[in-house]
A and B are shown apart, each in its own frame.
Chain A
Amino acid sequence: MKLPGDISLTAAVSVWRRNMTEYGHTWMTNILPNFFDPVLYLLGMGLGLGMFVGRGVNGLSYIEFIAPGLMAASAMQGASFESTYNVFVKMNFAKLYDAYLATPAQIQDVAFGEQLWAISRGLIYGCAFFAVLLAFTAAGYRIITSPWAVLLPFAMLLTANMFALIGLTFTASIRNINYYGFYYTLWLTPLFLFSGIFFPLDNPQMAGGHAETIAWFTPLYHCVRLMRGLAQGPLDWTHGVSALWIIAVSALLAMVVPRRMRKRMVY
């Protein structure tokens, strides 16, 4: 079966299946630790720091405020690990893509297969964290309070897909694995801190009142807004804009990634 962009679904799913087989062996060391990352933030910041944020945010306690955003961060991190280091190693050190390309698979199939796998991992992280949040909600915290929360997995899918594509774009553009230092420290960490997860951005004293406008041009901001809106409401048209923002950027990158990969692998 062929998808747009001359992608063979058979080949892409084969790439996905290879990764699934590997993680059958290594999930204990490879997947499990990263899952604790947002959980620790939830406990440390939400409960710990939350004790000093007495009045809460927008009528919510601090842990209730940050929880939906951490879900977005969770999906982002899952997709990012996979589309950066792991893809780089498979492509450049293990020479696995050369092996794939000797089968009927073409480079766009391989790229899409990795994208699918990165999405899967983002979804696994995001949904596991979602389950943790449901448990907190059952324990009396007002974290998941809107019926629209049933759409949260879809928001995680959008988030994981976009960050998979961003990671793949970066991976296809670098020749040295050390560049990921920049990617994580100067890209993912600032997104994590300044996308409205930990504090509202509409404060007039923040960046001269322009904080939210600046954040509007960055990707995680829209994911956080979407998650918060779906989990806790109220939803309005701006959430639709955020969803469209994510879809538009993803569509653009979906055209860039196969081209960059081809440039890298086919010569």
Chain B
Amino acid sequence: MELVEAIILAVLAASTPLLIAATGELVTERSGVLNLGVEGMMIVGAACGFAGAWLTGSILIGALFGIVAGTLMSLIFALMALGLAVNQVATGLALTILGIGLSGLIGAGFVGERITPAAHLYIPGLTDIPLIGRVLFGEDAFVYFSLALIVGVWWFLYRARPGLILRACGDSHVSAHALGYPVLRIRTFAVMFGGACAGLAGAYLPLAYTPFFIPGMTAGRGWIALALVVFSSWRPGRLVVGAYLFGAVTILQLHAQGWGVGIPSQFMSALPYLATVIVLVLLSRARTGGSTAPAALGTVFVPDR
């Protein structure tokens, strides 16, 4: 039983960065912008987050550093893709290349350092309940925040007027513009939100997942988050399911390696990436009756006068 509990806890921890980053990207894409730079924003968030926590000794300040770093990175993207109408795919790639270089530069001085990881909640009595106690009442703050975040985003997109306007920009920027909405400004905010989430998701890795920073520690999680948004058909509810499924795949392959299944560890490590490819194929195939993607996703918009 304890093993089950341990696995569930590990799955939650592995899923949380995916969920946070994918939530941000979901909002960005719902506004019609495809920011492929999630991996770059995450890795810079990880480096800055660790730097912040190491310098101040505070996990909260570390997380804020991550958020600010991710937002600043996303602003570069917004300036290019929205301000200068540059191809979004190419800009996103550039952001990732830049982010990997920057994180190496920022994090170089912190490699080998350790911090005390984020504390886990403890409520006497509740947390001690067997099996479910630690799962429900013994997580770190990031896990609870990620769930609050996705609920908030759901509420914003489907129950609030600004969310409706944001979705309108994503489905038809021409109509939204004609109605007088500032399409580019709304999209800039959406991109910034995506950057803040990616930065926080990146910061989660050295602040809570492993208490140290190593270059390239995001290991493609930003790209998996992008795939998760496709997986979710751009819906918050399905995003949660997808993120936990992927977290489960990651943890199961780790445990399978530990159990000494006769498969080389590299093949097990490749599973999350292969699963992403397979899921993308299956989902895209199932969706023959038209795409569920925001109609204006990835297209350049230059307002006429």
A complexed with B:
no
Which chain A residues have a beta carbon within 8 Å of chain B's beta carbons? none
